[in-house]
Chain A
Amino acid sequence: AQTVTQSQPEMSVQEAETVTLSCTYDTSENNYYLFWYKQPPSRQMILVIRQEAYKQQNATENRFSVNFQKAAKSFSLKISDSQLGDTAMYFCASSLYGGSQGNLIFGKGTKLSVKP
Chain B
Amino acid sequence: NAGVMQNPRHLVRRRGQEARLRCSPMKGHSHVYWYRQLPEEGLKFMVYLQKENIIDESGMPKERFSAEFPKEGPSILRIQQVVRGDSAAYFCASSPGGARETQYFGPGTRLLVL
| Number of chain A residues close to chain B: CB under 8 A | 28
Give A95 to B56 CA distance when docked, in angstroms: 14
Instruction: Give the chain B neighbours of A99 by CB distance below 8 A.
Output: 99
Q: Choose one: B35, B101, B108, B110; the contact of A44 (CB below 8 Å).
A: B108
B87 within 8 A of A: no
- Most A CB contacts (10 A, CB to CB) among B42, B56, B107 go to B42
1/0 per residue, CB under 8 A from B, across A73-110: the answer is 00000000000000000010101111111111111110
Complex: A101 Cα to B102 Cα, angstroms: 13
Chain B residue at minimum C-beta to C-beta distance from A89: B42
Q: Which of A39-81 contact B (CB under 8 A)?
A: 42-47, 50
Q: Are A109 and B42 in contact (CB under 8 A)?
A: yes
In the bound complex, do residue A91 and residue B107 qualify as a contact, i.e. CB atoms below 8 Å apart? Answer: no
Chain A residues with CB under 8 Å of B102's CB are: 35, 47, 50
Closest chain A residue, CB of each to CB of B89: A43
- Bound Cα distance from A96 to B45, whole angstroms: 13
Q: Which B residues lie within 8 Å of A108 (CB)?
A: 41-42
B98/A106 in contact, CB under 8 A? no
Determine the main DSSP class of B at the interface with A.
strand
B35 touching A104, Cβ below 8 Å:
yes
Question: Pick the contact of B95 from A35, A44, A102, A107 — CB < 8 Å?
Answer: A102
Q: Is B44 an interface position by the 8 A CB rule?
A: yes
* B105 proximal to A (CB < 8 A): yes
Instruction: State whether B59 touches A106 (Cβ < 8 A).
Output: no
Whole-angstrom distance between the alpha carbons of A107 and B45 in the complex? 12
Residues of B within 8 A of A105 (CB): 45
Closest to B3 in A: A44
Which chain A residue lies CB-closest to B9? A43
Whether A47 and B104, one on each chain, are in contact in the complex, defined by CB atoms closer than 8 angstroms, is: yes
How far does the alpha carbon of A45 sit from the alpha carbon of B27 in the complex, in Å? 18
Contact A106–B44 (Cβ < 8 Å): yes
**A44 close to B45 (CB less than 8 A):** no
Contact B91 A45 (CB under 8 A): yes
User: Known: A43-B108, A45-B91. Contact between A100 and B42, CB under 8 A?
Assistant: no
